[in-house]
Amino acid sequence: MRAPALTRRPAATDVGRAWESRLIRSAHPVVARVVDLAVARRSVTRLPGVGLLVADPEAARRVLTDTEHFTKQGPGSSGALWTPVLGERVLLNMDGSEHALLRRSLADLFSPRVVDEVCREAAQPIVARAAEQLRAGEPVDVVRLAREVSAAVIGQVVGLSSDADLADLLRSSDDIESMVTWRTRTFDEAGVDHARRALAVVQDAAESAHRAAQADTVMGRLALQGVSLDEARSLAAALFLTGVGTVSSALPRIVGQLADAGFLDRPGAATADLDAVIAEGLRMTTPSLATLRRCARPTELNGIRPRQDERVVVLLWWATRLSGGFDPGRRAPVAMRHLWFGAGSHFCLGAPLALAELRAMTGMVLEVAAERGLVVTRRVAARRVLVPRYAELWVSAGAPG
């Protein structure tokens, strides 16, 4: 899809950068300040009690791709947190040949055909409704739009059948997010039970779709490929955990960036590259703020020697900063490119689906903006949440009221 041509309003990009920092600090008031201070002096640095902080894009890429020295398993890893809830085999807690084998068996999970199909059925009706509202002069909260689209898309992937289930899905997503903070290393027994109960809506739907084994559902295709019921249940929960909060965070932040850089309020523009808008939007927003690794063998990283078993915090949001703010006209330096989706063997499995969802929603916003101009009428940063995001971001055609 082609999007309206964009002419940047340079001074306004500082506003976009300031909003991004505000979102990070509102989500993690203490940690964000401490990290800002630590990495301002050195982009790879040791923070006692936390671990090795990596905010340099090349060093971040090295940690994510060098599986000889850095692993996703072990104490303090996100794998250790999720294994008791999801089981042993959910990609994000695996490494090595078993991980590679499972990834290979899922290679077609989000093929272009599947992605088109899922987005057409689950995302397009919601996006079309929002476009109608905007064209009718009604305000639209793009946070709500992104939450509904991302839940409907994952609902379609795992085989949910009704809108009532979708509301449950969003409640579960909020519920689970509220259980995890930067400090959460493990869940106690009650926490594991609670998380399992919250995930039941997803896993039960996945189980029905897997049992039906129809080639026209994602879970059905997994069954036909020989993926076991337990594995499909676990995988469905993992896709839900990774796929709803990230896209819900990304879209409103990209719309905020477009508005702050002056790209939405002038009707009548021609066409430009929607993929470049989304790539630059993801660079600016990098919804997966950070990811964890453990040093499996001592090595050297930008002059620092990570110790055996030391926790390594790969600060993806900090590693993707560039001066000058949001500018879809430029390409990010090679080391930074796609880093918002990670790198190496754990590179985001859902990236094609996330990009398709963002294309559908951002394309619609830019199209309506080109017809009549859009303005942000209200926005509120979410407080103390795991994935930084807006709690609300309303857009409306015409001047702010």
Based on the shown chain and the rule CB under 6 A, indicate whether residue 199 belongs to the binding site for ligand HEM. no
Closest CA to 340 of 368, 320, 365, 369: 320
Contact with ligand HEM (CB under 6 A): which of 31, 53, 289, 349?
Answer: 349
Distance CA 190, CA 208 (A): 27
Q: Which stretch binds ligand HEM (CB under 6 A): 186-194, 273-281, 285-293, 298-306?
A: 285-293
Contact with ligand HEM (CB under 6 A): which of 340, 369, 370, 395?
Answer: 340
Based on the shown chain and the rule CB under 6 A, indicate whether residue 173 belongs to the binding site for ligand HEM. no
Closest CA to 49 of 181, 183, 180: 183
Contact with ligand HEM (CB under 6 A): which of 23, 59, 81, 92?
Answer: 92
Strand partners, 273: 2
- Residue number with CB closer to ligand HEM (291 or 396): 291
Tokens encoding 30: 């203490």
Compute the least distance from the CB of residue 93 to ligand HEM, in Å: 8
- Residue number with CB closer to ligand HEM (131 or 354): 354
Tokens encoding 212: 């039906």
Contact with ligand HEM (CB under 6 A): which of 156, 288, 362, 396?
Answer: 288
User: In whole angstroms, how far apart are CA 101 and each of 67, 74, 97, 112?
Assistant: 16, 20, 6, 21
Based on the shown chain and the rule CB under 6 A, indicate whether residue 134 belongs to the binding site for ligand HEM. no
- Residue number with CB closer to ligand HEM (61 or 379): 61
User: In whole angstroms, how far apart are CA 230 and each of 43, 94, 227, 237, 324?
Assistant: 42, 16, 8, 11, 48
- Residue number with CB closer to ligand HEM (64 or 142): 64
Residues from 292 through 321 that contact ligand HEM (CB under 6 A): 316
Report the amino acid identity of residue 187: F
Distance CA 134, CA 190 (A): 44
Distance CA 214, CA 222 (A): 9
Q: At what angle do helices 163-177 and 142-158 cross, to 10 degrees?
A: 110
Compute the least distance from the CB of residue 20 to ligand HEM, in Å: 14
- Rounded to a whole number of angstroms, the distance between the first and last alpha carbons of the chain is 32
Contact with ligand HEM (CB under 6 A): which of 55, 59, 91, 198?
Answer: 91
Based on the shown chain and the rule CB under 6 A, indicate whether residue 237 belongs to the binding site for ligand HEM. no
Size of the chain in residues = 401
Based on the shown chain and the rule CB under 6 A, indicate whether residue 341 belongs to the binding site for ligand HEM. yes
- Residue number with CB closer to ligand HEM (94 or 261): 94
Based on the shown chain and the rule CB under 6 A, indicate whether residue 291 belongs to the binding site for ligand HEM. yes
Based on the shown chain and the rule CB under 6 A, indicate whether residue 77 belongs to the binding site for ligand HEM. no
Residue number with the smallest Cβ distance to ligand HEM: 350
Closest CA to 303 of 77, 58, 65: 58
Compute the least distance from the CB of residue 9 to ligand HEM, in Å: 25
Closest CA to 293 of 124, 55, 139, 73: 73
Based on the shown chain and the rule CB under 6 A, indicate whether residue 155 belongs to the binding site for ligand HEM. no
Compute the least distance from the CB of residue 270 to ligand HEM, in Å: 27
Q: What is the DSSP letter of 87?
A: -
Map tokens 């079309």 to a residue.
128
Contact with ligand HEM (CB under 6 A): which of 115, 126, 247, 387?
Answer: 247
Residues that bind ligand HEM in the complex, under the rule CB under 6 A: 64, 91-92, 103, 238-239, 242-243, 246-247, 250, 287-288, 291, 316, 340-342, 346, 348-350, 353-354
